[in-house]
Chains A and B, each alone.
Chain A
Amino acid sequence: MAELNAVEIRQVSKIFGFGEFAFAAVDNTSVSIRQNEFFTLLGPSGCGKTTLLRLIAGFEYPTSGEILLNGENIAAMPPFKRPINTVFQSYALFPHMTVAENIGFGLTMLGKPKQEIKSRVDAMLKLVRMEALAGRRTSQISGGQQQRVALARALAPQPKVLLLDEPLSALDYKLRKDMQIELKRLQAETGITFIFVTHDQEEALTMSDRIAVMSSGKILQVGNPREIYDAPADRFVADFIGETNFLKGRIGSVVNGVADVDTSVAGRISATVPQDFHAEGEVTVVLRPEHATLCPPDQPAACQMSGTLENVVYFGTDTHYHVRLSDGETVFTLREQNKPLQAARFSAGDRVGIALEANAARVLRN
């Protein structure tokens, strides 16, 4: 027998408001989250991530559909009966309790014996490295420490699933990086299924086993970080994850999954075609900026495209170039890694050529 999914969302909708004001925050969505995985919900603000999480936690009831936890439908179960815990975006630590009391709260509510609660709280404090501050009020600790306490509090009752709603968004850049590593470590150590919400694509790519990209209440694509980045299912995903260039063209012959696409600005280029996808006529081709390089315009053999360099933006690790292509409309972005002590080869106003790496272009499913 195949292992049960940790959480299964089946055709769930959540509609707020009535009549003409009705609005589907989650729109007939289905997704399965496997046991022990680090699953991320990624999407722009207002796309329904929090709502989906609250449905799983039990703070909202779905308008229709089923939510299964280890195969059992929990859609109508109140939150305090679900073996699921949440790390809230604002942490929601109880201000009238100490760090240790906060962490022990769930176990106390479950009626666990005092001794067990104490040892479990101690273990949790150790896990998040907060032993020294156990007796402090939660209003007297820093943001990063509050974050750890919130995490420990949610982990203490050993839930089947841990929900995290943008838990790192209130932290500064450096602390966020540290906490990302910490979270991964905790997930590996505890073996609990994590459902993590973020709108930071970099965070999603670095941390997740699998990512679900959401937009307007729907899940557009589910896959591991590589699939999401390299093979975006549609224009929205391609645009939302990383920077992307879109070129229009007519598709020609397809051989071994590689199509010959005739673009007006770049001439003919070969582009990978998604599996079981049969397109004819107009298609869109996507190209990541790091898969192209600038070349001198007088070597037409090496360059597929040419245009005028509009501006050069220095980013430390790399430099971004914006090139207006010869059709005068499309602006193509490309990115080159910086080398030590080497000035930019081109400057704004230069005529330049663009060379594409092999297999860089990909035909987009419409």
Chain B
Amino acid sequence: MARAFSIRRQRGFTAIAVACFFALYLPIGVLVFYSFNAGESLASFDGISLRWFAKAFQNQQVIDASIRSLQIASVAAVVATIAATMAALATTRTEPYRGLTLKYAFINQPLMIPEIVTAVALLIFFARIKIWTGYSGLGYLIAAHTAFCIPFAYLPIRARLENMDLTLEKAAADLYATPWNAFRYVTLPLLWPGILAGFMLAFVISLDDVVITEFVKSAGQDTLPTYMLGQIRRSITPEMNAISTLFLLLSIGVVTVFFIVNRKRV
């Protein structure tokens, strides 16, 4: 029997898509699977065990790096989200004004330049400042992360603002709300999902960063990704898989929250 004609169907597309999803998840699946390996090496699977997870939890370097990663990501994401929210308010829902295009270019600039170039630039710049000030704390990493998180946080906030009905604030003004009250009681509550999405995006982007961190960090400032990069280059044990699995879990958790927040459209 002939298949009913569907206007949406394109020959072969479904096969490619399914293959694509399969290929995306197979390596991740292998990686997770081997994190439960009881054996020493990745060459063979010698039964299920949690020993590598236990090992990772006892590894002081891993713990320190994880804490550092979370510290940097939290501070950078909060600051970036606040700055991005303000910038989004300043660049949307207006007649074009002088300097608006410049602002767009500036805010999106970190996206338009290969990360390695920014990394090199920050290495040079911060090296100078370190010499001048003598300070070599986490501040540099936090500043760098904040800067490249801003465009990511800006994206969903701006999108949400642009889809927001302008007349709502007009209506608030009509009902005796001062500009601040209109912002406080109408704009902000409606913008909230966008801000939350922006924050989570910024948080994950900061947490995942390798290149800029690798160049900017001072000695003993490994984050979890740079620690992992160092390990992968040396010798690989299933402990890496265990750490990766945990990291993966964290990412999936954040995506899930992101999805739920974005779905609940008011």
Contacts and interface: CB of A to CB of B under 8 A. Distances in A.
Do A and B touch, yes or no (CB under 8 Å, in the complex)? yes
Interface of A: 57-59, 78-81, 84-86, 88, 90, 92-96, 105-106, 109-110, 139, 153-154, 157
Nearest to B171: A92
Contact of A109 (B167, B176, B190): B176
Given A96-B189, A96-B190, A109 B175 contact: yes
Nearest to B167: A92
B165 interface: yes
B190 A95 contact: yes
Given A110-B176, A157-B176, A88 B266 contact: no
B120 interface: no
Contacts of B179: 80
B176 A92 contact: no
Contacts of B41: none
Contacts of B64: none
Given A94-B168, A109-B177, 4 more contacts: A57-B174, A58-B173, A93-B171, A109-B175
B171 A80 contact: no
Contact of B171 (A84, A88, A110, A139): A88
Interface string B11-34: 000000000000000000000000
A301 B168 CA distance: 65
B155 to A, nearest CB: 22
Nearest to B170: A59
A85 B175 contact: yes
Contact of A88 (B170, B178, B182, B190): B170
Contacts of B176: 80-81, 106, 109-110, 157
Nearest to A79: B173
B190 A92 contact: no
A195 to B, nearest CB: 13
Given A92-B167, A94-B168, A109 B174 contact: no
Given A59-B170, A88-B170, A95-B190, A109 B181 contact: yes
Contacts of A79: 170, 173-174
B246 interface: no
A153 B168 CA distance: 13
A58 B171 CA distance: 11
Contacts of B211: none
A139 B174 CA distance: 21
A95 B266 contact: yes
A94 B181 CA distance: 14
A24 to B, nearest CB: 19
Nearest to A78: B173
